[in-house]
């Protein structure tokens, strides 16, 4: 089976809930501090998801600026439109990262958070980002390296099997370590890279890892020999560790800032 994670109603709602957590709020504040959107700028949010970042970008650029937000999932677009309804300088519409369909040099800045891992043609998508940015425009990408995951489990072999099956949820589980040469080839100069560690030392439903746990439990059955019972036992193990004060999760996400030459 090779189908990656689909952003259907159930998954999109779960991701929307995860993005309300303090862990996700911290990530958005890192993105905004690196990208530095300014009043009056035109910014593109590629793969806007439920629209939290687009609405925060809109607050930064103000009504004299403009935010275009695109996503390939109709459900995510519905959530983003609702979230940005009161902000007429935000335009939310269907679009593919590899074919965003805007004019050359239309944007001052682009943000794309946890999207390019899902895009098969990353090279083409980065070339398109360079095309629609003005010279000197900024690109901010966030991507996860899934080999960086540390998750305490009673059954380490089962954890390895489940995480291996979850690697199928996206096209590029190791994108951060390959990204800088790809950025250069597409016409960017990488300027900064910051690591954001998602770390949870307790099991709490309002955290990144609790949301991820449920996404994984639903995704892995039928992949790489993992069945539903094994996925449920894996999830119970982690929640049980939480109940007895033995929970630990950590994962590295990387924020890259690059400038179009």
Binding track over 99-118 against ligand SAM, x by CB under 6 A: --------------xxx--x
Residue nearest to ligand SAM (CB): 49
Instruction: Say which residues have a Cβ less than 8 Å from residue 112's Cβ, sequence separation at least 6.
Output: 45, 46, 47, 97, 129, 139, 140, 141, 142
Going by the DSSP 8-state scheme, the letter that residue 120 receives in this structure is S
Count of C-beta atoms within a 10 Å radius of residue 82? 12
Q: Which of 21, 55, 73, 252 binds ligand SAM (CB under 6 A)?
A: 73
Q: How far is the CB of 126 from ligand SAM (least distance, A)?
A: 12
Q: Which of 17, 62, 96, 174 binds ligand SAM (CB under 6 A)?
A: 96
Kindly state whether residue 72 participates in binding ligand SAM, applying the rule CB under 6 A: yes
Q: Which of 58, 84, 97, 132 binds ligand SAM (CB under 6 A)?
A: 97
Spatial CA neighbour of 254 closest among 195, 206, 210, 198: 195
Kindly state whether residue 18 participates in binding ligand SAM, applying the rule CB under 6 A: no
Q: How far is the CB of 102 from ligand SAM (least distance, A)?
A: 13
How many helices (H) and strands (E) the chain has is answered by 9, 8
Q: Which stretch binds ligand SAM (CB under 6 A): 45-53, 102-110, 129-137, 153-161?
A: 45-53
Q: Decide: 87 and 58 in contact? Cβ < 8 Å.
A: yes
Angle (deg, nearest 10), helices 228-243 and 208-219:
160
Q: Which of 41, 71, 108, 128 binds ligand SAM (CB under 6 A)?
A: 71
Q: How far is the CB of 99 from ligand SAM (least distance, A)?
A: 9
Which residues share a beta bridge with 16? none
Kindly state whether residue 209 participates in binding ligand SAM, applying the rule CB under 6 A: no
Spatial CA neighbour of 68 closest among 141, 86, 87: 87
């Amino acid at each position: 089976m090779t189908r990656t994670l689909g952003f259907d109603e159930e998954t999109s709602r779960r991701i929307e809930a995860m993005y309300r957590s303090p862990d996700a709020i911290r990530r958005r504040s890192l993105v905004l501090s690196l990208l530095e959107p300014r009043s009056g700028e035109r910014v593109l949010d590629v793969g806007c998801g439920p629209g939290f970042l687009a609405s925060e970008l809109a607050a930064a650029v103000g009504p004299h600026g403009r935010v275009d937000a695109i996503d390939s999932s109709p459900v995510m677009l519905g959530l983003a439109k609702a979230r940005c309804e009161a902000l007429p300088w935000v335009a939310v519409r269907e679009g593919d990262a590899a074919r965003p369909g805007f004019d050359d040099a239309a944007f001052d800045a682009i943000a794309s958070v946890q999207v390019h891992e899902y895009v098969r043609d990353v090279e083409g998508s980065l070339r398109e980002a360079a095309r629609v940015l003005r010279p000197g425009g900024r690109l901010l990408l966030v991507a996860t390296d899934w080999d960086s995951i540390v998750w305490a489990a009673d059954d380490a072999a089962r954890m390895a099997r489940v995480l291996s099956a979850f690697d199928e949820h996206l096209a590029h589980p190791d994108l951060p370590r390959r990204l800088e040469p790809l950025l250069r080839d597409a016409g960017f100069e990488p300027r900064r890279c910051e690591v954001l560690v998602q770390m949870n030392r307790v099991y709490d439903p309002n955290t990144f890892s609790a949301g991820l746990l449920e996404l994984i439990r639903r995704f892995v059955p039928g992949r790489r020999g993992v069945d539903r019972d094994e996925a449920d036992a894996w999830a119970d193990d982690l929640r049980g560790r939480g109940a007895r004060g033995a929970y630990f999760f950590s994962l590295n996400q990387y924020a890259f800032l690059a400038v179009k030459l």
